[in-house]
Amino acid sequence: MSDSKISVKKLHLFYKDFQALNGIDIEVRPQHITALIGPSGCGKSTFLRSLNRMNDLIEGVRIEGTILLEGSDIYSSAVDMVALRKRVGMVFQRPNPFLMSVYDNVAYGPRIHGEKNKRKLDEIVETSLRGAALWDEVRDRLHKSALGLSGGQQQRVCIARLLAVQPDVLLMDEPSSALDPKSTMKIEELIRDLKQRYTIIIVTHNMQQAARISDTTAFFLNGTLVECNETELIFTKPGDQRTEDYITGRFG
C-alpha cells in the first residue's frame, strides 16, 4: 500500500473512559476525495481530527495505533506539530475567519511561517483567493473585515487561508453544513477543483453530497469503520447490511 497518502492502522481513540474509535484501518489515496459518512456521534469527526492531531487540544484524549502520512508516523514523538498542521490543513463546520481583513486572514499562515516580503504575500493572497474561487468577489474589498462577507464567502476565505500555507492534505469537517444551498454548490464545485492538487478527506452528513463529490466513501458506525469502498459501489451495491440500511435512510 505504498501508494497511499495516509495509511491508518488499528486506530483506537479514547476520551477518558469512553472509546470513541475502535480499531480503524483505512487507506487514503492521493489526489482523491474520500468522504466519511455515518450518523451523529459515530466517530467520523473525531477520526478526521486525529489526522492533524487537533484532538491533542482536548484533555483526556488517548490514542493507540498508527497513522502514517506518506509512510511516517504522525504520532511519533519526533513529529513537529507546526510542520504537520501546515501539511494537513483543516476546514471547519462553521466558517471561522479571524477578526481581520480578508487579506490578513489569507496572509496569516504565510506570515506566521516567516514570509515577510510584501510582494510575495500579495502574490500568495491572490493565488490562494483564486484557488478558493473567491478572488473576483473580494478583490475590491481585500482590506475590509472578513466577517462582513456572506457565510459561503467566509467559508471560502477559510479555504483560501488554508491554501496559502500550501498544504498537501485538506481535512474538511462538514464544510457546507452551515451554508445555504447555493453556497453549498459553490463549495462543492471548489472541492472538486481542488482534488487535482490536494488529497481531500471530507466529513459530511449529507449523503447526496458524498455521492456527488467523492471518489471513495467510508461508512462509520459507533466508532468502527463498517465499510470503505469506491463511492459508486457503496451507494449502489453496499457490501454490508448496515451500510445499506443507513444510505437508504432506515436509520441515522
Partner 1 sequence: MKITSDTTGRVLSTGAALVTILLTLAIIVFIATKGLSTFIINGVPVKDFLFSTNWFPDRPLEEGGPQVGVLAFMLGSIIVSLLAVLVSAPLSVACAVFIREIAPFWGQRVLQPAIEILAGIPSVVYGYIGLSLLVPFIREHLGGLGFSVLAGFLVLSVMILPTIVSMSVDSLRALPQEWKEAAYALGSTRWQTIRIVLLPAARSGIITGVVLGLARAFGEALAVQMVIGNTRKIPGSILDPVITLTSAITMDMGNTPMGSLWSNSLWSMGLLLLFISCLFILVVRFVVQRSEMSQ
- Judged by the rule CB under 8 A, the positions of this chain that interact with partner 1 are 52, 54, 57, 81-86, 89-90, 92, 94, 96, 98-100, 108-109, 111-113, 145, 147, 158, 161-162, 165
- Using the minimum distance from each CB to partner 1, give the nearer residue, 1 or 57: 57
State how far the Cα of 145 lies from the Cα of 156, in Å rounded to an integer.
14
- Using the minimum distance from each CB to partner 1, give the nearer residue, 83 or 233: 83
**Nearest to residue 211, comparing CAs of 235, 195, 193, 228?**
235
**Nearest to residue 156, comparing CAs of 137, 181, 169?**
137
Strands 224-230 and 216-221, by their bridges, are antiparallel
Q: Give me the least distance between CB of 164 and partner 1, in Å please.
A: 9
Q: Give me the least distance between CB of 34 and partner 1, in Å please.
A: 18
**Nearest to residue 88, comparing CAs of 77, 107, 101, 72?**
72
- Using the minimum distance from each CB to partner 1, give the nearer residue, 102 or 211: 102
- Using the minimum distance from each CB to partner 1, give the nearer residue, 56 or 64: 56
Q: Give me the least distance between CB of 193 and partner 1, in Å please.
A: 21
State how far the Cα of 147 lies from the Cα of 195, in Å rounded to an integer.
27
The sheet carrying 18-28 orders its strands as: 18-28, 6-15, 61-69, 72-73
All residues at 6 or more sequence positions from 239 whose CB lies less than 8 Å from its CB, including other chains: 227, 229, 233
- Using the minimum distance from each CB to partner 1, give the nearer residue, 56 or 193: 56
State the cell numbers at 163. 491554501
Q: Give me the least distance between CB of 207 and partner 1, in Å please.
A: 26
Q: Give me the least distance between CB of 112 and partner 1, in Å please.
A: 5
- Using the minimum distance from each CB to partner 1, give the nearer residue, 178 or 185: 178
Q: Give me the least distance between CB of 162 and partner 1, in Å please.
A: 7
